Amino acid sequence: MLATFMEVLDTTILNVALPYIAGGMAASNSQATWVLTSYLVSNAVVLPLTDWLGRRFGRRNLLLACIVIFTISSALCGAASNLGTLIFFRVLQGAGGGGLQPISQAILLESFPPSKRGQAMGLFALGVVVAPILGPLLGGWLTDNMNWRWCFFINLPVGLLAILLSALFVEDPPYLRNNRPTKVDLWGLFFLTVWLGCMQVLLDKGQEDDWFGAIWLRWMAGFSFAGLVCFVIRELSVREPLVDLRILKDKSFATGVSLVFLIGIVLYGTLAALPLFLQTLLAYTAFQSGVAVSPRGIGAVAGAIFAGRMLGVMSARTLVALGFVLLAASGFLMGNFDTGISQFNVVVPNILNGFGAPLVFVPLTTAAVISLRREQMGNATGIFNLFRNIGGSVGTSLIATYSQRFAQIHQNFLGGYYTPENPNYRDTLASVQGYLAAQSGTVPGAQQALGVLYRTLTDQASLWAYVDIFQWSGWICLASLPLAFFLAPAKGAKPPAEGMMH
């Protein structure tokens, strides 16, 4: 869990520090976003490879190697002298971090009997769910009070502790020691890299360059789609695939992958939207917005503990459905925000959101793999975490796009009321002009009044854009509910058949 916490924390801690990195490296904000994109691309490519790497080199060795690479590259990122060097070390950091989540999850699922997996996944969820919530808060505090480089250096003590504990306590299961694959599917690796690399660049740069309005992004989309098709055909036809896609024939696992993709969209989307709403419309600083969002962590801790204990009592289906209901309620509550809300109005839906997330994640992780054999766990967790990360990338990209496009739609609509024929508009304009004329003169006052009303218009349009986004997240959660009942019905306390364990 320590290794996973460190890796997931790094996916959000830099979001608030990007402007400072751009300033420190004499780069534009657009150039600085490659610090995020480079990490996500290498991270996404390594995720599905972890099963093959774990079988080839041993899970314990792979886990230790990933933690060492991630920790050392974190130190090198913090010490980077220019943007090119920082991006290079971020690629290394992403490659090391890509294996941490699935390999840790596979080790936990194999180390505990089915009756204890719920409690193990509850603890694991603290790293997966709480870390992205703490990221903006910790990143804002470190950036404001120390330096953006400490967003990387903070990984050093956690990484060293994770290396020590993993070296002492983690060991490989017997079947892995005697079953080492010797060949790597190079074509599969090539197609996988093209698919995920081009897709991540498309998602990260889409809104910035008008999506398919830019020729180079159309090429990225074409290469990504071709890479996906070739990768699927290759992995289904080769004798020793890099990623065994046949595992998706299992109904419960395929359902779990679909649901974790959807929850990735919702969780990462709202995590990206809420700080933007607070900072752009309510004038919160980066740290203040982190503090306002931080109660989500309280709900997440409580939800992880509750889910871990209740998984042996309630069915996974029921817990997942309950989690989606709470996430939907959180989205609809945030869909009632306005520019006059107090911080307390932000706290309640955040706690609900935090409590609901592990109620989905913990039982989903166990129910998705309940009918799989132990030797399939590594492959399953790689695919599972890959689709959670893809969902997160899609959610973040959708927020970047629709926060602007919805605002434009609402601005066009509201602008129809800003006409001389509207008596309310005439009265308001005259009132503001009169006040400003007394301060700065008749002509300047008239010009300033138009500026004040236009800012009011754009703020209101942006508010309605965020309201739409939050409400849509609620509807996505409700639409996901029926899928929960396709999960395996077994409770966490039921042991699997003997054949499943060997």
Could you tell me if residue 498 is inside a domain?
no
pLDDT greater than 70 at residue 492: no
Mean pLDDT calculated for residue range 212-234: 91
* Same domain flag for 102 and 90: yes
Inside any domain, residue 146: yes
- CA 166/CA 181 separation, integer angstroms: 24
Mean pLDDT across 468-495: 79
350 with 367, same domain?
yes
Q: How many folded domains does the chain comprise?
A: 4
Look up tokens 């003590």; give the residue: 157
**pLDDT for 420-452, tens place per residue?**
777 887 778 788 777 777 777 777 777 788 888
Same domain? For 39 and 88 the reply is yes
pLDDT in tens, 360-415: 888 888 888 888 887 777 788 888 888 888 888 888 788 878 888 888 888 888 88
Q: pLDDT for 45-79, tens place per residue?
A: 888 888 888 878 888 888 999 999 999 999 999 89
Judge whether 489 lies within some domain: yes
Rounded distance, CA 22 to CA 18, Å?
6
Q: In the 8-state DSSP scheme, what is residue 129?
A: I
- The verdict on 292 and 208 lying in the same domain is no
Average pLDDT over residues 293-301: 82
Q: Which of 241, 271, 289 corresponds to the end of one domain?
A: 241
* Domain-embedded: residue 136: yes
- Distance (Å) of CA 346 to CA 336, 338, 350, 376, 393: 11, 11, 6, 42, 24
**Is residue 463 situated within a structural domain?**
no
State the residue range of the domain holding 97: 1-183
Share of the chain above pLDDT 70, in %: 93
Residue 14 belongs to some domain of the structure: yes
What is the structure's pLDDT at 333?
Answer: 92
Average pLDDT, the chain: 82
- 270 and 355 fall within a common domain: yes
Answer whether residue 77 is part of any domain: yes
pLDDT in tens, 160-219: 999 999 889 888 777 666 666 667 788 888 998 899 888 888 887 787 777 888 898 899
Same domain, 365 and 256: yes
CATH of the domain at 269: 1.20.1250.20
SS3 314: coil
pLDDT at 182: 62
pLDDT exceeds 50 at position 494: no
Residues 48, 81, single domain; the answer is yes
End position of a domain, from candidates 162, 183, 204: 183
Q: Is the pLDDT of residue 497 over 60?
A: no
Of residues 498 and 310, more confidently modeled: 310
Residue 30: band (very low, low, confident or very high) from pLDDT cuts 50, 70, 90: low
Q: Are residues 192 and 147 in the same domain?
A: no
Helix (H, G, I), strand (E, B) or coil at 28: coil
pLDDT for the residue 56: 81
Residues 162 and 296 grouped into a single domain: no
In a shared domain, residues 95 and 118: yes
Query: Are both 81 and 59 inside the same structural domain?
Result: yes
Mean pLDDT over 463-482 rounds to 91
Pair (149, 193) in one structural domain: no
491 forms beta bridges with: 315
Q: Give a yes or no: residue 500 inside a domain.
A: no
Q: What is the pLDDT of residues 328-359, one digit of tens each?
A: 999 999 988 888 888 788 888 989 988 998 88
Q: Is the per-residue pLDDT at 496 higher than 60?
A: no
